[in-house]
A = this chain, B = another copy of it.
Amino acid sequence: MTETSATAQGATAGKPRTRIQRRNRELILEAALQVFSQYGFRGATLDQIAAEAGLSKPNLLYYFPSKEAMHEALLQTLLETWLDPLRALDPQGAPLEEILAYVRRKLELARDYPRESRLFANEILQGAPRILPYLESDLRELVAQTCVIIRGWTAEGRLAPVDPVHLIFSIWALTQHYADFEVQVTAVLGEGDPFEAAGAHLDVMFRRMLTP
C-alpha cells in the first residue's frame, strides 16, 4: 500500500481525489443540509436526500458510510465556522462598534446560511445529542472569554452595564430568529427581504442598549 497507488477506499478513507468525487460529495452534502435542516436527523430520510441530490440511494452510501456520517460531516463544518465571528471581537477596538459589527456578521450569516442555522437549531431542539460535549467545553470557554472582554469594557465605562452572558444570548436569539423562524417572519411580513429592516432595527436597538 504505497502513497502513489493508494486509491480512496469507498471514497471515505482520506479526501476524495477526482473532480467527480468532489462534486458528488458536495452534491450529497448540499442535499443532506437541505433535508436535515428542515426535518432534523430522525425526520430526514435517505430517499429524500437521494432525490434532492439526483443520485441513487446506494450511491449516497458509497460516498458516506451511513446517514449518521452525513449528518456528522455537516455538523463538523458548521461548528468550525459558526463561532468565528465571536472570536473576532477585538478587546482593543471601540466596544459598541465591535459588538454592532458582531451583530451584523451574525445577521449576515443568518441571511446567507439559513439552513446551517436551522440545522443547528434542530440539533439543539433534539437535546444536542451529538454536540453537547462541544457546547459544554469549547463554546462555554469561548463565551467565558468574551464575557471577560465585555466586563472590561463596562468597567472602563465604555459600555453600559449589562449581563454579558445574556447579552450574547440576546445577540444569538435575535439574529438566528430570522433564519430559524423565516417562515413565520415571511408569513407576518408578506413578501420581501426582511433582513434589511432587521439590520436597521437591531443596529438601533443595540445602540440604545449599550451606549453608556
**Is the Cβ of A187 less than 8 Å from the Cβ of B43?**
no
Cβ of A170 to closest chain B Cβ, rounded Å: 6
Kindly list chain B residues whose C-beta atoms are within 8 Å of the C-beta of A205: 162, 170, 209
Q: Is the interface of A mostly helix, strand, loop or mixed?
A: helix
Kindly list chain B residues whose C-beta atoms are within 8 Å of the C-beta of A189: 165
State whether the Cβ of A140 lies closer than 8 Å to any Cβ in chain B.
yes
**Is the Cβ of B125 less than 8 Å from the Cβ of A121?**
yes
List which A167-206 residues lie within 8 A (CB) of chain B: 167, 169-170, 172-174, 176-178, 180-181, 183-185, 187-190, 197-198, 200-202, 204-205
* Interface size band for A: 35 or more
Given A143-B188, A165-B188, A208-B209, residue A170 in contact with residue B174 (CB < 8 A): yes
Chain A, residues 109-146, CB within 8 Å of chain B (1/0): the string is 00000000010011011111000100110011001000
Binding site for B on A (CB under 8 A): 37-43, 118, 121-122, 124-128, 132, 135-136, 139-140, 143, 160, 162-163, 165-167, 169-170, 172-174, 176-178, 180-181, 183-185, 187-190, 197-198, 200-202, 204-205, 208-209
